[in-house]
Amino acid sequence: MDYLKLKSIIEGLLFLAGEEGLSTKQIADIVEQQQELVEKCLEDMKQDMEQGGRGLQLVRIAGHYQLATLSEHAPYFEKLAYSPARASLSQAALETLAIVAYRQPITRVEIEEIRGVKSERAIHTLVNKELIEEKGRAEAIGRPILYGTTKSFLDYFGLGSLEDLPQPEQFEDSDNLEEETQLLFERLESSQPAENDSDLES
């Protein structure tokens, strides 16, 4: 395989893996190349990002490589996360939040299996809004992150505890995402002052 193409593929894999990252063995198995070559690619990519003044960096955490933003850019990310234009919860974010609320602790892969689409962006949005957080690691290959709701989630929806969530006893299908999302959305509408309704539309 062409070396530049290999680097490009690895960068794409790391982007898709998100904060869970990938080990050199996982990458090598996927691209069907020797680990030594993969390690060389990763080192070259790290240097390219540093020397090119890129907005992303390649980091290694607990034996897994992942793409990360630069800490010095944090003030700008905070502005994006808390800007009025980002105040609303999209349908994707609300669906993801409903899944986490009712199925926690749960991994990103399990969320995506239920939704049927990639959910990394929705998860990042909810983490940035402090509605969900890391609750540990699953006992599975790669030790994926387990997500659960936060105290801010309870405050946001006016709940005293998770037991106060609308109960879906009427569900015959345990994977009825539409009903769970609707219950959470109704709770959201009823718990917010009328003057804030426009800020919370999907």
CA distance readout (Å), 96 to 115, 136, 195: 8, 18, 26
Residue position matching structure tokens 């996927």: 30
C-alpha–C-alpha distance, residues 31 and 24, integer Å: 11
The bridge status of strand 64-69 relative to strand 132-137 is unpaired
pLDDT digits (tens, 9 = 90+) for 45-79: 999 999 999 999 999 988 899 999 888 988 887 77
Q: What total number of domains does the chain contain?
A: 2
Q: Are residues 122 and 52 in the same domain?
A: no
pLDDT band at 128 (very low <50, low <70, confident <90, very high): confident
Q: Which of 41, 72, 103 is the last residue of a domain?
A: 72
Q: Are residues 114 and 161 in the same domain?
A: yes
User: Do the domain assignments include residue 198?
Assistant: no
Q: Domain containing 171: what range?
A: 82-189
Q: Which of 72, 99, 114 is the last residue of a domain?
A: 72
Helix (H, G, I), strand (E, B) or coil at 157: coil
User: Do the domain assignments include residue 96?
Assistant: yes
Q: Does residue 6 or residue 82 have the better pLDDT?
A: 6
C-alpha–C-alpha distance, residues 120 and 16, integer Å: 8
Q: Which of 72, 106, 127 is the last residue of a domain?
A: 72
3-class secondary structure per residue, 107-164: EHHHHHHHHCCCCHHHHHHHHHCCCEEEEEECCCCCCCEEEEECHHHHHHCCCCCHHH
Residue position matching structure tokens 């974010």: 93
Q: Are residues 132 and 39 in the same domain?
A: no
Question: How many secondary structure helices (H) and strands (E) does the chain include?
Answer: 9, 5
Q: Is the pTM of this model over 0.95?
A: no
CATH number of residue 120's parent domain: 1.10.10.10
